[in-house]
Chain A
Amino acid sequence: MFGLDRKDLTLFLVVVALALFAPFLLNPFPSDSGLAQFNAGYPDLMQRFVIFGIFAIGFNILFGLTGYLSFGHAAFLGVGSYAGVWMMKLLTMNVIPAIIISVIFAGLLSALIGWISLRRSGIYFSILTLAFAQMCYALAYSVLTPITGGETGLQLNLDDPRIIGASQTAEGNIPVPHLFGLEMNQTWQLGMGGWEFTFSAGYYLAAVVMLVSFYLAIRLFRSPFGMMLRAVKSNQQRMNYTGLNSRPYTLAAFVISGMYAGLAGGLMVAMDPLAGAERMIWTASGEVVLMTILGGAGTLIGPVLGAGLIKYLENILSKINKGVLEQWFAVMPDGIDTFLVTIVYPFIGKGWHLTLGIIFMLVVIFLPGGLVEGAQRIGKLFRRTRKPAATDDPEHHPKPQPHVGE
């Protein structure tokens, strides 16, 4: 079905289910319980999960398949954001044109940067992309202020010359981005017992776009083109002597992943119509590298998992403060509680980077294939413990019954 193998189809359907039911799945704790702060099912964060998921899926097409490690992908996300905001300023508050123009601009910029950077490989390629991204950042921050808004960033104003639609609403406010009238910040609440679930129009738009991107990525991975990209990573020399020109392949992969980044940038604007130069800074480029490696470079689902984990830590861990810790450990005897608070404190709040660093270190050392490899190992453990029971002692089980569902 959908032109996918059974295994890929299963994976895709699981991701569809996760994305559609995320408002439930990410809110496992009743809203008045002490654990409610671990709930991630609010629109703002869920949107970030899927948007950064798209960013990482695209990055993985370049890095995971061809092995070319770009340190400048945030530039494409940033350009996409600026283009999207301009579309809303000039044309319409409908998000579709904004998203399309984001993808186009990111594609153009990545074609230019890729065309130059791909003349080198390895560390030189990485440095070139980093240099270009930092140049874009510097330009956006200073020289291009009329276009980018410089330090303050680019925002909508009350006097934007919007061709389709009004500059301001009847109440004199800036209009809200919408999809053919459906406003992106619209939400519906559902209360069930102690639980509160929020469904947001913006999240569902982003989730559907993510699912489409994910589907296209699976198709690409399984296509001849995807195989050629893996050939680039494996042995470029053999590829060239086999009659294939590796340059256009790497450039196409670079542009596609740049367009994914632009799509993510456009969606950010659709959720919240502003853009700033900080989206292009090198730490933002580094973050998507971490997401991809953490989840599992070259795997289909890994980048999405990595993006989710990092965004979860960033938003949940960083909100825990000393007061919350003291509450948790209050049940402990005196002395021990202050001790525990002192130990844990560096890892939360602003210190969440420390936690991320440790997790990253552990994954790279013990699970070079990322979270996906971890999941595979756990899966294998289960299979290994089940198998011997089925195969040992054939004498006593002349006709082993197949497991239900196998």
Chain B
Amino acid sequence: MPRRIKPLDVYRLLPKLNCGKCGEPTCMVFATKLIERQTTLDKCRPLFEDPRFRENLRKLMELLRPPVKEVTIGVEPNAVKVGGKDVVYRHEWTWRNPTAIALDVHDGMGDEEVERRIKFVNEWFYERIEKRLGIDLLAVRCVSGSAERFVKFVEKVCKLTSKPLIVCTLDPATLEEVLKRIGSRRPLIYAATERNWREFADLAVKWSCPLVVSAPNDLSKLKSLVVSIVKNFGYEELVLDPGTLVSNGGFLDTISNFTALRYSAIEFGEREVGFPLMAIPATVWIFESGGTEELEFREAIIACSLVARYADILVMHSLSPWVYMAVLCLRDCLYTDPRVPPSVKPGLYEVGKPTPESPLVVTCNYALTVSLVRGDLEKSGIDAWLLVIDTEGTSVASAVAGKRFTADKIAEAVKELKLEEKVKHRSLVIPGYAAKIAGELEDLLPGWRVFVGPRESSDLPKFIREIWSKEVLGKA
């Protein structure tokens, strides 16, 4: 089981000055927030400034270090953090630092293609529950074999984007030239292998850049490389590439390797493998054959599976929105807090382009329910007003039972939002699960008609077309 630190263990080691410099009223509050990963240790200045706390500081750093190290790529304000994982299973505690997605470009690509890709990285997004999800990183590959050409290319890319980079070359001389120009941007270096690890580690240390350690499908070699770098260079800004195999069997070996590494790091406290994991679904494009869409499809499946199985970084090659929609959507879902039912802001929402003649549908603010209701209405082409009541993120059925979905709340919202000005028909549809509050609601809203709709939102379109329309608008 993952180790869960107690606030008291942290508190014991803090300066106990209650001076508030950390931005928290007391050391105890600070301790609690540290554990919840809502603040960072460096905020407690006395701890760093007073030599008397040195030993405690060391202990605190040790105590608070997540079993999977957190590694930063790039510099603020565009830095991307990866890893920092505390648990294997997301139901135990929120997975932190969503898998960072990288798109590749290389120095053999035509200008147009490069610009298209960078534009995609810079601008494309997929909107989900009021969030804009997009590509996080750019992986720059050296295919020309020429350091000079590659450096020029990397510099050009840097001018076109502020996203952090992954510099991909296996040649130390090329890497050195690149770092001389853009080392201060703190790119992630790909990759130290059994052939070049000494030079690569040396350069990573010199430029203080995070480094990928790579050994495809050989975890002992991977671990050996990590140990060699940590022991010889004292450097721990590492990311692991255990290899992403994409053939049917190889793909399963890869999933299994990712799982094993994460288990070792978290459940068994094996420091040597406690680093972020990088997956490269882009390998599909060299090892599999097929049309563009087929390869994109396959890459998406591999990427999604590895998002669910512990990848902290993905390098991809596809350039189609539907591929990234699936990957980002899954990532966004899996990286939510398992304890908090996700909720949407209460209020009035528009589905399609509603008019004063459109139905007014009431529901809870459980994000999933809202999505479903909205989806079902949209699917059947019904424009509607959607009144979302604050039920603290619970579903209608439990909110009715727990008195969070009440006639009072609905009536209040109707008045406050002046809904009588929005809809001419003065009627609203409440969910079937809330049937028992219908009477009370009619009493509270004189002049309004309350319809008890179906329990399932999938039946809502039919209800609106066949019952509500007939009763209210006089036509089915």
A and B interact? no
Q: Could you tell me which A residues sit within 8 Å of B by CB distance?
A: none
